[in-house]
């Protein structure tokens, strides 16, 4: 799938998330909020299943569970909401230094597969599938380390 930000915006504005009479930015913000709320609800449902299933009660297990949960929230802020915080800037800077370019993460409308774009010869282009997995894994490790560092 080769979506540019312009095509992404057009898809969002022509989706059921956008209503008549709203500006493009308002429609996009509404879509982002709905996507973030959906993902948060899924994370909470998963947490409830783990809790009700007799999760290990040791201090290390509880800390690991909380670390994963907070990292997921941090990841949602990074990918979906795009909020600017010191930790998010640190994550973006680390990724830029490690991969040598700015990367943009987003979920195309109606899709559950994250897309990563980078600056290519023809403008923004999707990252190759094999490199995308490496980037996501490394971004998750950096995010987890940042959260763990702030939890201590």
Q: Report pLDDT digits (tens) over 50-73.
A: 666 655 567 777 788 788 888 888
Digit-coded pLDDT (tens) for 2-18:
455 555 555 555 555 44
The residue ranking higher by pLDDT, 151 or 122, is 122
pLDDT at residue 25 above 90? no
**Pairing relation of β-strands 103-106 and 123-126?**
unpaired
CA–CA distance, 93 with 89 (Å, rounded to integer): 6
Report whether 11 contacts 109 (CB < 8 A).
Answer: yes
Q: Does residue 97 register a pLDDT over 90?
A: yes
Give the DSSP letter string of 63-123: HHHHHHHHHHHHHHIIIII----HHHHHHHHHHHHHHSS-EEEE--TT--S-EEEEEETTE
**For residue 128, what is the DSSP state?**
P
Percent of the chain whose pLDDT exceeds 90: 5
Rounded to whole angstroms, the Cα distance separating 56 from 50 reads 10
Tokens representing 68? 């994963």
pTM for the complete prediction? 0.57
């Amino acid at each position: 799938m080769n979506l540019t930000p312009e095509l992404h915006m057009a898809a969002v504005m022509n989706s059921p998330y956008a209503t008549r009479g709203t500006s493009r930015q308002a429609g996009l913000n509404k879509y982002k909020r709905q996507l973030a709320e959906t993902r948060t609800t899924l994370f909470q449902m998963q947490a409830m299943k783990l809790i009700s299933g007799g999760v290990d009660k040791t201090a290390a297990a509880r800390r690991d569970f909380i670390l994963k949960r907070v990292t997921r929230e941090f990841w949602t802020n990074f990918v979906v909401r795009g909020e600017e915080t010191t930790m998010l800037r640190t994550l973006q800077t680390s990724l830029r230094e490690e991969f040598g370019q700015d990367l943009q993460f987003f979920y195309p409308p109606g899709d559950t597969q994250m897309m990563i774009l980078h600056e290519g010869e023809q403008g923004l282009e999707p990252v190759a599938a094999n490199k995308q997995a490496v980037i996501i894994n490394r971004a998750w490790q950096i995010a987890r380390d940042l959260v763990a560092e702030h939890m201590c």
